[in-house]
Structure 1
Amino acid sequence: MKHLRTVNDVMTHAVISIDRATAFKDIVEALRMWNVSALPVRAQDGQVVGVVSEADVLLKPQSPDTAHDTTAEQLMTRPATTVTKDATIPTAARLMARGHLKRLPVVDGDGRLVGVVSRGDLLKVFLRPDEDIGAEIRELIMYQLIPHGYAEVRVHVANGIAYLDGSLPDPAMEDVVVRAAGTVPGVIDVKADFTVPVSA
């Protein structure tokens, strides 16, 4: 069962990038050929130093006499907004929303480019089969939150909505279980109907 929790789980690992010296014509050709909206610019050590987007190309018009001398160094937006490969999917989504970005370069702990994540990649979590989501919720509840044998929790997921029922040993556990289930990627909403044993 694949747990889609981090950027590394959904990103594109094969990534097209350019260096500072890449010429204007080659940038335009790469954007067209690979059908992408932006290209990360890498330094010699692999670190991301900027991004050249379609907007950078279109909003910085070049005359026929100077276009051949224009490079990625002159066009790129810097510093680049990047996300680490171990960042959570919601973290990447917030960065994209804040910067009105369609794609983010993904870097390792040293800032070196390891992939690219797009809005479409982040939406993959909502395409998970309900069975996978339910299995992950059961694993989370029964093996991490509640000692085995002290609760009977039934989980059913339909169209991304998690339905939880059964019995819990403590009324205070219901809020913990519901919040935990809501963190599982692909869950849209959680509906709970638990009973708590009455003390003798």
Structure 2
Amino acid sequence: MTATDAPHVVGDVMTRAVVTVGTGTAFKDVVRTLQERRVSALPVLDGSARVLGIVSEADLLPKEEFRDSDPDRHTQLRRLSDLAKAGSVTAEELMTSPALTVTEDATLAQTARIMARARVKRLPVVDGSGRLIGIVSRSDLLKGFLRNDEDIAEQIRREVIASLLPSPASAVRVTVCDGVVVLAGRVRDRTLVPVAARLVRAVEGVVDVRFELEEPAASRRT
């Protein structure tokens, strides 16, 4: 992976071959598909490949949980949705809907925030019409951290240092080790350091940024 093809958006990292089910897929067939394909959730599509919802292992568990029990009134009121799923027999009845989705031009950072807030492990990727074109998982979002250290350093030199802290106003060296960036040398305007930090952290693959900067001698005497 080079600096020019570093992943920036969902389309760079998503899986395009997606296992799906239709609205009428039977409960046992959903379970069978999850087991055979070794996935924990399946997009549910209509006849036009639009994503209607997601059926996950969590949606299936109430069937087993309430199989041999008679929930009390408090449980019935508190877990109406789970009790409905316990009586479901098709993917349409089981699925969580509407589905939370992203488009392929969503950034990895945006997608990570959506997943964290919704506490989900993967998201269907759809086009402008809501049709499924892929799926993105938590592990996909971490692929940027596999970038070569020198590729990261080169991108920072080109996109951050050259424009924000150019010579001769500064002489900043960039080194990267295991994704940790160190900016060392001299910088005339220290008010630019927080800006540089923000821009460096936005580079795919950066784990952290540290500074070993000092003002030029002439600046310290004034």
TM-score by length of 1: 0.85
> Is 1:157 aligned with 2:160?
no
Tell me which of 90, 96, 110 is aligned to 2:129. Answer: 110
Residue 150 of structure 2: aligned partner: 131
The 5-angstrom pairing of residues 1-200 of structure 1 reads: 1=2, 2-61=5-64, 70-146=89-165, 151-197=170-216, 198=218
- Structure 2: distance between partners of 1:88 and 1:158: 25
17-26 vs 74-83, which deviates more? 17-26
Equivalent residue of 1:110, what SS? coil
- Displacement after TM superposition at 1:52 (Å): 0.6
Tell me if the contact between 1:16 and 1:39 (Cα under 8 Å) persists in the aligned partners: yes
Flag the 1:35–1:173 CA change in 2: closer, same or farther, 3 A. same
Mark the runs of 5 or more structure 1 residues left unpaired by the alignment: none
Equivalent residue of 1:138, what SS? helix
Flag the 1:148–1:42 CA change in 2: closer, same or farther, 3 A. farther
Mark the runs of 5 or more structure 2 residues left unpaired by the alignment: 68-85
Aligned-pair identity in percent equals 49
RMSD: 2.5
Tell me if the contact between 2:52 and 2:99 (Cα under 8 Å) persists in the aligned partners: yes
Tell me if the contact between 1:60 and 1:75 (Cα under 8 Å) persists in the aligned partners: no
- Displacement after TM superposition at 1:74 (Å): 1.0
TM-score by length of 2: 0.77
Equivalent residue of 2:48, what SS? coil
Flag the 1:149–1:48 CA change in 2: closer, same or farther, 3 A. farther
- Displacement after TM superposition at 1:15 (Å): 1.1
Q: Kindly provide the amino acid, as one letter, of the partner of residue 9 in structure 2.
A: T
- Structure 2: distance between partners of 1:59 and 1:85: 33
Flag the 1:129–1:195 CA change in 2: closer, same or farther, 3 A. same
Equivalent residue of 2:11, what SS? helix
Flag the 1:39–1:177 CA change in 2: closer, same or farther, 3 A. same
109-118 vs 34-43, which deviates more? 109-118
Tell me if the contact between 2:48 and 2:131 (Cα under 8 Å) persists in the aligned partners: yes
- Structure 1: distance between partners of 2:203 and 2:166: 20
- Structure 1: distance between partners of 2:59 and 2:19: 17
